[in-house]
Structure 1
Amino acid sequence: MTVRPIVKFPDIALRTPAAPVETFDNELRQLADDLLETMRAAPGVGITGPHIGVLKRITVIELSPEDGVRIYVNPVIEETSQTLQRHTEGSVSMPGVTEEIERPDRITLRYQTITGEEQREEATGFLATCLQHEVDQLDGVFWLQRLSRLKRDRAIKKWQKLARG
């Protein structure tokens, strides 16, 4: 397992849709392991291939050690609830910047496992938020795009100040 360099905002990889994974092999398992190690080192609770410059539809999520590691390959959100919830979000590609975002509080997700097995999962609460955030990233939608123009501009200014040191 290797900690890989994380692509930083405003890199184009963060706004590029990721390609579907077609081969389920040791290389994909190694990528998932590297994503997990990179996410833990960041630290974060979710990471995608594009966060390390690999434009493949894979995400790794670990909300807590008790919840364990979840790997989603080719995830697609099939349904969302009408009920919304607010959570503070950020990105391993923009450390130190967070903002509250409103998203559906329940989703149904279709995905494949690391071995290619088709799955469906219903998620609520923080897991639903994380999955929506990471699927957005895989679709080329960086989390800032979910903010109002005012909040987005404020977040970018904060990031620029942090990046300058």
Structure 2
Amino acid sequence: MAIHEILEVPDPRLKTVSTPVTEFDDELKTLVSDMFDTMYDASGIGLAAIQVGVPKRVLVIDLQPEDEDAEPEECNHGGHSHVHYPTKKEPRVFVNPVILDPAEELASYQEGCLSVPDIFADVDRPATCRVQYQDLEGETHEEDMEGLMATCIQHEMDHLEGILFIDHLSRLKRSMALKKLKKLREAA
């Protein structure tokens, strides 16, 4: 169990095209466990192995829906209290994922990225897609994805090709996003 540093732009390793996983061993299981720890620590919903400096075709995703069966917890932040419903962890692992049959219909989501902190922008992607992937044992699966899961898996799979979500923006919007990120870093 380890939390790794998440690479941030302009780290050139983020432009690396990741290589397929061929060994489904304890090293892979440790990598995936560390990726979940790192993602949860950063409050993310998805992470590609290259974001922690490992150029392998591995993704972890957890959209963490609110758990309707959970007991509400009372939180007290800065003098005001409110009821908080804990989220349910639904960790998903995708090894060597491939998109099959992306929809022609596009959906727009406001995306962010742990490698591009505090920057958010609307990105259009296929609204649905079928994904073929392997699990930690090397078994192959196919699954239809829609909604936020379709967006998230496409975003994470872009990382495997060395593509960041800001690469989908116009030159002007990308330039503005990078300037904003630079100002945020200078202020910190």
**TM range, normalised to the smaller chain?**
over 0.9
1:163 to partner: Cα distance? 1.6
- TM-score, normalising length from structure 1? 0.97
In the other structure, the counterpart of 2:94 is 72
RMSD: 1.0
In the other structure, the counterpart of 2:49 is 49
Task: Give the partner amino acid of 1:139.
Answer: E
Q: Which range is displaced more, 129-138 or 90-99?
A: 90-99
Q: How many residues align?
A: 165
Q: Helix, strand or coil for the counterpart of 2:117?
A: coil
Letter aligned with residue 156 of structure 2: E
Distance, in Å, in 2 between the alignment partners of 1:115 and 1:57 is 15
Q: Deviations over 1:28-61 (max 9, x none)?
A: 0000000001001112100011100000000000
CA-CA distance at 1:67 after TM superposition = 6.0
Structure 2 Cα separation of the partners of residues 117 and 155 of structure 1: 40
Partner of 2:168: 146
Moved over 2 A (4+): none
Asked which structure has the greater CA Rg, the reply is: 2
- Separation in 1, partners of 2:185, 2:101: 37
Task: Within 5 Å, give how 1:102-121 maps onto structure 2.
Answer: 102-121=124-143
- Give the unaligned 5+ runs of structure 1: none
Q: Which residue of 2 aligns with 1:20?
A: 20
What's the secondary structure of 1:145's corresponding residue? Answer: helix
Structure 2 unpaired stretches of 5+: 65-86
Counterpart of 2:171, as a letter, is R
1:78 Cα shift? Answer: 1.3
Q: Distance in 1 between matches of 2:13 and 2:148?
A: 25
1:13 & 1:138 partners in 2: Cα distance? 11
- Give the C-alpha shift of residue 21 in structure 1: 0.5
Question: Equivalent residue for 2:115?
Answer: 93
User: Where does residue 82 of structure 2 map in the other structure?
Assistant: none
User: How far apart, in 1, do the equivalents of 2:101 and 2:181 lie?
Assistant: 33
Which residue pairs with 2:8 in the alignment?
8
Match of 1:63 in 2: 63
CA apart distance, 1:66: 3.3
Q: Deviations over 1:142-162 (max 9, x none)?
A: 111111111111111111111
Q: Indicate the SS of the match to 2:101.
A: strand
The letter of the residue matching 2:61 is: I
Identity within the alignment, %? 39
| TM-score with structure 2 setting the length | 0.85
